[in-house]
């Protein structure tokens, strides 16, 4: 089971979970060191300005939001008899900005980061500023790790490319070919891999992206780079076995599709964890 992320804001550890591919922060954690604690969430939710804010957020971000129910709730907000729980808000309006979660890997009330920052402002302007600062630091750290992973995968594909070109040299290039023709064969085989994975040649990609720097592989994501590294090695084996180009393309394309699906499955599984 994947571990939830956490940030520490003014001595308070705040859990961050992934819900609908987005970060949600624990409001339960946020009020832990404030006087009145959990009662503050209820007080904030009774506030008319809060209702207007989260309602507008839902209208912008939630296509199934029940706007008529929202209008009814907004009209009652501010009255002495008015009360509203997170559970009731979700049930009546199909809201997605707030969630009530129970379980071993995170429980309590969680809010989409936009709403969590607004709640932080209501708690304390100072708390909100530190909350945003720590959240941004977390995102910067995550981006640095992703860049490192991407660079590692890109390096791996370049290393495997030497194995690939050696196989081409040993089997496809007669000694009498000129350097120009040899380079053409290398490019031809590189495009075989591009076709198998990206569905287009390097030239087709450049024609579609005339202002882009680099080549099609420089814009690949991590999953694509992992698969590219794999099919480079497989293609080298197929070349040495004497498989013709059309048969290799068919096999490599099938392998690329299968491996991409597997990697996406792992990604979805990790999110569930």
Task: Give residue limits of the domains in the chain.
Answer: 5-123, 143-272
Q: How far apart are CA 127 and CA 133, in angstroms?
A: 10
Q: What is the average pLDDT across 14-19? A: 89
Residue 179 has pLDDT above 60, yes or no: no
Share above pLDDT 90 across residues of the chain, in percent, rounded to a whole number: 28
The residues that bridge with 110 in the sheet, in sequence order, are: 26, 99
Average pLDDT of every residue of the chain: 81
Residue 168's pLDDT is 56
Residue 2's pLDDT is 47
Do the Cβ atoms of 199 and 209 come closer than 8 Å?
A: no
Neighbours of 233 (CB within 10 A): 13
For residue 268, what pLDDT band results from cuts at 50, 70 and 90? very low
Of residues 164 and 66, the one with the higher pLDDT is: 66
Residue 272's pLDDT is 32
Do the Cβ atoms of 121 and 135 come closer than 8 Å?
A: no
Do the Cβ atoms of 252 and 232 come closer than 8 Å?
A: no
Do the Cβ atoms of 67 and 52 come closer than 8 Å?
A: no
Do the Cβ atoms of 168 and 161 come closer than 8 Å?
A: no
Q: What is the average pLDDT across 186-211? A: 86
Residue 190's pLDDT is 84
Q: What is the average pLDDT across 23-32? A: 93
Entry field: residues in the chain: 273
Query: Going by C-beta distance under 8 Å and a sequence separation of 6 or more, which residues neighbour residue 94?
Result: 62, 64, 65, 66
- How do residues 201-260 score in pLDDT, each as one tens digit? 888 998 999 888 888 888 888 788 888 888 888 888 888 888 888 888 888 889 888 888
12-19: strand order across its sheet: 5-9, 12-19, 22-26, 108-112, 98-101
Alpha helices in the chain (DSSP H): 27-30, 39-46, 48-61, 67-76, 86-93, 113-123, 125-171, 179-198, 202-208, 222-240, 245-272
Q: How far apart are CA 110 and CA 30, in angstroms?
A: 10
For residue 269, what pLDDT band results from cuts at 50, 70 and 90? very low
Of residues 152 and 50, the one with the higher pLDDT is: 50
The pTM of the full predicted model, rounded to 2 decimals, is 0.53
For residue 31, what pLDDT band results from cuts at 50, 70 and 90? very high
Return the residue matching tokens 């409001």: 27
Residue 182 has pLDDT above 50, yes or no: no
């Amino acid at each position: 089971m994947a571990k939830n992320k956490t940030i520490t804001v003014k001595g308070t550890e705040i859990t961050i979970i992934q819900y609908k591919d987005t970060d949600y922060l624990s409001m339960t954690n946020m009020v832990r060191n404030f006087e009145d604690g959990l009662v503050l969430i209820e007080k904030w939710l009774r506030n008319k300005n809060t209702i207007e804010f989260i309602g507008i957020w839902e209208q912008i971000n939630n296509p199934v939001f029940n706007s008529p129910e929202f209008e009814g709730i907004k009209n009652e907000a501010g009255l002495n008899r008015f009360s509203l729980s997170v559970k009731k808000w979700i049930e009546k309006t199909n809201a997605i900005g707030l969630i009530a979660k129970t379980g071993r890997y995170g429980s309590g009330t969680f809010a989409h980061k936009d709403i969590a920052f607004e709640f932080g402002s209501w708690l304390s302007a100072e708390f909100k500023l530190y909350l945003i600062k720590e959240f941004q630091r977390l995102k910067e750290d995550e981006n640095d790790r992703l860049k490192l992973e991407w660079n590692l995968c890109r390096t791996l594909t370049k290393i495997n490319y030497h194995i690939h070109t050696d196989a081409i040299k040993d089997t496809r290039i007669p000694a009498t070919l000129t350097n120009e023709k040899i380079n053409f064969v290398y490019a031809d085989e590189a495009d075989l891999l591009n076709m198998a994975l990206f569905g287009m040649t390097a030239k087709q990609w450049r024609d579609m992206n005339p202002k882009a720097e680099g080549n099609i592989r420089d814009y690949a994501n991590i999953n694509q780079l992992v698969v590219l590294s794999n099919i480079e090695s497989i293609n080298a084996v197929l070349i040495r076995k004497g498989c013709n180009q059309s048969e290799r393309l068919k096999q490599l394309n099938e392998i690329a599709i299968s491996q991409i699906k597997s990697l996406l499955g792992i990604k979805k599984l990790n999110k569930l964890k």
